[in-house]
Structure 1
Amino acid sequence: MVYCYGLKRCLGTGRSTASVVSLPTRRSLHRDGRHRLSNFWAPTQQKASTKTAREDGHDLLVRAGFLRQAQSGIFHLLPLGLRVQDKIERLIDKHMLSLGASKVSLSTFSSEELWRRSGRLDKGRGSELFSLEDRKGTKLLLSPTHEEEITNIVANAVHSHKQLPLRLYQVSRKYRDEARPRQGLLRGREFLMKDLYTFDSTDDNARCTYEEVRRAYCAFLDDLRLPYVVANADSGNMGGSLSHEYHFVSEKGEDTVITCNQCDFSVNEELFVGRPEKVASAAQASIETQLAFFVSKDRKTLLNVIYPAGSDVNIYAVKAVFPDVDASVEDAASVWKRTEGARDIVIVFDPRITNPRKTATMMEKRGDWRTLGPVNVEARLLEPLVGGEMILLTQAREGDNCPRCESGSLKLHSAVEIGHTFHLGTRYSEPLALTVTDQNNQQRHVSMGCHGIGVSRLVGAAASLLADEKGLNWPLAIAPFSAIIVTASAGTEDADKVHDLLEHVGVDAVVDDREQKVGWKLNDADLVGYPFIVVLGKAWADRQAIELQCRRLGFKEAIDLGDLAAKVQELSQRL
């Protein structure tokens, strides 16, 4: 029992006397600068809560003590998770420094007025924006992104082309009111994100900056040594005309990336447009068909898409041919029928159907338009043309011909997006009045770019990508610790010697000096997913040999202490 002495006011006397207060015995803490699990809070749970299915990466992150859920889509990071996050941030800092970018920290709050000026407020209101109002009635947002704020800051500070280029980035919390948060960190309502904002005096300079950022992003992903793909992408609500997504290939992914096995064609399915294949007209004439209805935004035009049976409609191709379509309407024909006033019918045939009139007659006989009932509207035909070229109206399938090289075949990947780069041009500088004087002393709008990496999303994606039946399996670059030293003895002198040896060659190691048995410690190390496990067991007692394990590489071997550092460095080249 440990006692501490305090002062106690004596009742009725006004005097203070010493009193003895008993406290539980305090566990010892090592303060020699070495990493020890006895000093480190890692609340792991070695037994899964259910045995019905294989755990995914998020389940393992919770059970291995990396995070805890606070609410739906909101998570607390624990010490192990914070170490992973910190390593990702340091890696990001390294590559942002290579671009000459300066780090900032912008407020979580954003001005609703700025979002109104940029034109994004109405698009976001009622969907994914968290909005609030202070006691003075000022309307604010919890920022999902910071284009408006950073543009406003630069507009008040930069006035000449000589002050450009400028590259500013931050790693900060963002907020999005997801309708259905799911898959843990992959789609949450609060998330950590790195966003880089670039400012150039001309569009040409901004595009050069964009390519520099793309190379830096690829270098960052190369450092992780995880398989990734870069895909052409849709700019969406961000604006601009040029963007790329950066994905980990994963069965847990919500995106589909389409690549070619022969050329560098790579695109998000949202941008995929197929080209007609060269097949005999006789084969085309025998194609079975099916029909899909879509309605226009004003509900007055019914679009009939006729395409080969056995395929799925590519809504992005449909939008390219008929931009006014509202793809969110499920029962398009019924909505169109209820619309009053003049109405229109448009029919578009997939180009593989070479005899539209004959096909339409056949479809009418078999009742494809029966649900429309009697209509006194004459249909008009629309050719599936984009930029003067015919396009297919169906989604890509595994093995289809590549639309770029035509000799390759397509492969479809489920993928998790962990980064996105956008060339914005003057999308934000115009409405927010960000201008500089050019060489001719004329005012010119600054050309911008924004480039994000989902830091917390990356944690969840990497965890899912390499997890196996034993637990997590971190990439060396972002593992909470690169190596764990497990010892059977109660003392730590031998383990400290190994710890110092590894630290000397740049391997951040931690000593498992907890009181549990060796078998428990090894299971715990597998669950957490340390790249290297160093065991001081029987071989150490017998002949001062260390058992080195690397589950990801299937390596398990007893080696001399003098060879440990070199062997770890050798294996590290493959992790």
Structure 2
Amino acid sequence: MNKASSLFWPALVTPKNAIVKQTEQLSRSQKLLTELGLVKPGCNGTYQIMPIAQRAVDKCINLVQRNMQEAGGQKISMPVLTPTQLWKKTGRLEGDISEFYMVRDRSGKQFLMSPTHEEAVTAMLATTAPISYRQLPLRLYQIGPKFRDELKSRFGLMRAKEFLMKDMYTFDVTKEAAEKTYARISNTYAQFFRQLEVPFVTVEAATGIMGGSLSHEYHYISPVGEDTLLKCNNCGYAGNVEVFGNTSANTCPSCQGSQLIPVRGVEVAHTFLLGDKYSKPLGATFLNTSGKPETLVMGCYGIGITRVIAAALEVLSTEQELRWPKLLAPYDVCLIGPKQGSKEQVPAEGVEIELLQQLTQICGAEELLHDDRKELTIGKRLFDAKRLGHPLTIVVGTKAVQKEEPKLELHLSGAEKLELELPEVLSLVTAHVRHKQQLLQESATNEQDIAQLRTQGRTLS
């Protein structure tokens, strides 16, 4: 069981009369995560994730892996360092690489601290013993740190120089097969974001430095978003303003209507249909049914793990209290017992012990936080619990030991407190756990076909 008294939880303490100088614009999630001691700034653009927030990161990783494996993904790990020679072969080293970190080893060989791994994973397949068409499609993914020298690192984990990312690379025999894979992974991405229960939008996007023939972004709508999106109220099309180029941004490219509404978005995931942009120059091939080599057809798919968490909090939270997606909340339940030395302490602790046992059976010891800091008042501990955004906070106070109709306080995140009898409290906790299980059991619906994808993009050529 998790005990609050044992947690490393370096919350910022600001004296009442202190004058705080604001040196940068802070996002809501950045401010709360920092003040509550869940995330600590390192050097400029880097962040240290403390134990409570790390639980949310681990849950996000597990949820992503669950979805990737359901989509046929196989997990690998690639080195952070990629030889720049590979990027020269694909032509990307001649592009705008100002935001990428370069390092040299003692022999003078130059490496990229990989912001992405298209070249590295393609070169790996190119140097593998001949791959048969029978082994395809291949869907390889990893989860690890990425590095980008952001010109303006801001809003905490939403725009950092070092961040955690899931990147998948797929290899198919034909363009048509790659399109089916694209539809399959796109559907899995939509499933993942539905499971988080945070409103999101899928938009047509420019392929940019990544290249390829098709690209989509997944966004959370927020005023602090750095992308301008255009949504069509008539047909549902959505696109990043970048895809419009020199054409009119007043006309929907899908239905030709004029109902385009601009909104700000935080990009949390991106998909690309790459074709042979990387496999051809790097010589990544497979043996076809005739035993002859053909170039592999690629796709790549990224999800910003830490950015998803920060952006979800940005959308859901208030100015004073965090609000977590249910599947990412560090703990399901926080239990607060009586204050030390209070007149109800002894009898209330009997209820508290019984409740701990029952809650452990319902939600598991790992999902239960016992705020055992009894030297603090119930009010102070409840204040902390509300700010941390626990989905369910239960208080064993004076009313829990009254002779007639003993009641517990139940605080649902973002809702008014309820005074309920023990069975009612346990019933609501059970319902919360069941809802989480239902979210996890949600499977991707039938694979999206190419026609469905065209509602979000103009072409699959």
Same fold (TM over 0.5): yes
Residues 1:43 and 2:14 are matched in the alignment: no
After superposition, give the CA deviation of every residue in 1:434-487 in whole Å (9 maximum; x if it has no partner): 011111222110001110001111122122112213221111110111221111
Cα distance in 2 for residues equivalent to 1:194 and 1:115: 21
Whole-angstrom distance in 2 between the partners of 1:132 and 1:51? 36
Identity of aligned residues (%): 35
Q: Identify which of 326, 345, 348 aligns with 1:476.
A: 326
Please say if 1:261 is aligned against 2:227.
Answer: no
Query: Where does residue 44 of structure 2 map in the other structure?
Result: 72
Q: What secondary structure sits across from 1:480 in the alignment?
A: coil
Q: Distance in 2 between matches of 1:413 and 1:500?
A: 48
Q: Is the 8 A contact 1:112 1:139 kept in 2?
A: yes
User: Which of these residues, 139, 143, 152, is aligned with residue 123 of structure 2?
Assistant: 152
Distance in 1 separating the partners of 2:299 and 2:225: 26
Closer, same or farther: CA 77–560 of 1 in aligned 2, 3 Å: same
TM normalised by structure 2 equals 0.85
Partner of 2:202: 230
1:500 Cα deviation (Å)?
Answer: 3.5
One-letter amino acid matched to 2:269: G
2:409 corresponds to 1:550: no
1:497–1:106 CA distance, 2 compared to 1 (3 A): farther
Residues 1:189 and 1:117: Cα distance change in structure 2 (over 3 Å): same
Match of 1:451 in 2: 301
Task: Quote the Cα distance in structure 2 between the aligned partners of 1:441 and 1:229.
Answer: 43
* Mapped partners of 2:33, 2:163: distance in 1: 16
Distance 1:463 1:51, change over 3 A: farther
Q: Which amino acid aligns with 1:63?
A: E
- Correspondence for 1:24: none
Higher share of residues assigned strand: 1
Where do 5+ consecutive residues of structure 1 fail to align? Answer: 1-33, 273-315, 318-390
Q: Which residue of 2 aligns with 1:133?
A: 104
Report the Cα offset of residue 220 of structure 1. Answer: 0.3
Residue 137 of structure 1: how far off its partner (Å): 2.0
Provide the rounded CA distance (Å) in 2 between the counterparts of 1:130 and 1:55. Answer: 26
- Give the structure 2 partner of residue 210 of structure 1: 182
Does structure 2 retain, via aligned residues, the 8 Å contact 1:232–1:271? yes
What secondary structure, in the 3-state scheme, does the structure 2 residue paired with 1:167 have?
A: strand
Matched, 1:534 2:384: no
Structure 1: distance between partners of 2:267 and 2:308: 9
Q: Distance in 2 between matches of 1:200 and 1:499?
A: 52
Q: 1: distance between equivalents of 2:256 and 2:211?
A: 31
The CA deviation string for residues 376-433 of structure 1, in whole angstroms up to 9 with x for no partner, is xxxxxxxxxxxxxxx53xx44xxxx645335672222211000000111111101110
Q: Does 1:414 align with 2:264?
A: yes
- Can you list the C-alpha shifts for 1:273-332, whole angstroms capped at 9, x where unaligned? xxxxxxxxxxxxxxxxxxxxxxxxxxxxxxxxxxxxxxxxxxx21xxxxxxxxxxxxxxx
Deviations 1:360-390 (A, max 9, x none): xxxxxxxxxxxxxxxxxxxxxxxxxxxxxxx
Structure 1 residues 139 and 404: CA distance shift in structure 2, 3 A: closer
TM-score, normalization: structure 1? 0.69
Match of 2:371 in 1: 512
Conservation of the 8 A alpha-carbon contact between 1:129 and 1:144: yes
Is the CA contact 1:195–1:450 (under 8 Å) kept in the aligned structure 2? yes
Query: Counterparts of 1:116-195 in structure 2 under 5 Å?
Result: 116-125=88-97, 127-157=98-128, 158-195=130-167
Aligned partners of 1:505 and 1:436: how far apart in 2? 51
Which residue identity does 1:414 align to in structure 2?
R
- Aligned-partner residue type, residue 121 of structure 2: I
Name the residue aligned to 2:211: 239
Once the two structures are superposed, residues 73-101 of structure 1 have per-residue CA deviations (whole angstroms, 9 ceiling, x without a partner) of 11111111211110100100110111111
Report the Cα distance in structure 1 between the residues aligned to 2:309 and 2:370, rounded to whole angstroms. Answer: 24
Native 8 Å contact 1:58 1:463 kept in 2: no
**Structure 2 CA distance for aligned equivalents of residues 232 and 54 of structure 1:** 29
In 2, distance between residues paired with 1:551 and 1:119? 51
Secondary structure in 2 aligned to 1:484? strand
Q: Check the 8 A contact 1:249/1:413 in 2, yes or no.
A: yes
Alpha-carbon RMSD across the aligned residues, in angstroms, is: 2.3
Give the equivalent residue in structure 2 for 1:560.
Answer: 421
Alignment of 1:332-411 (within 5 A): 391-392=247-248, 395-396=249-250, 402-406=252-256, 409-411=259-261
- What is the aligned counterpart of 1:438 among 259, 284, 288? 288
Between the two proteins, the alignment pairs up a number of residues equal to 418
How far apart, in 2, do the equivalents of 1:420 and 1:496 lie? 47
**Bigger CA drift: 519-528 or 485-494?**
485-494
Q: How does 1:311-330 map to 2 (within 5 A)?
A: 316-317=245-246
Change (3 A) 1:535 1:242: same
| Deviation (angstroms), 1:164 | 1.1
The match for 2:336 among 465, 482, 486 is: 486
Displacement of 1:46 in angstroms is 6.0
Q: Find the counterpart in structure 2 of residue 249 from structure 1.
A: 221
Q: CA deviation at 1:218?
A: 0.5
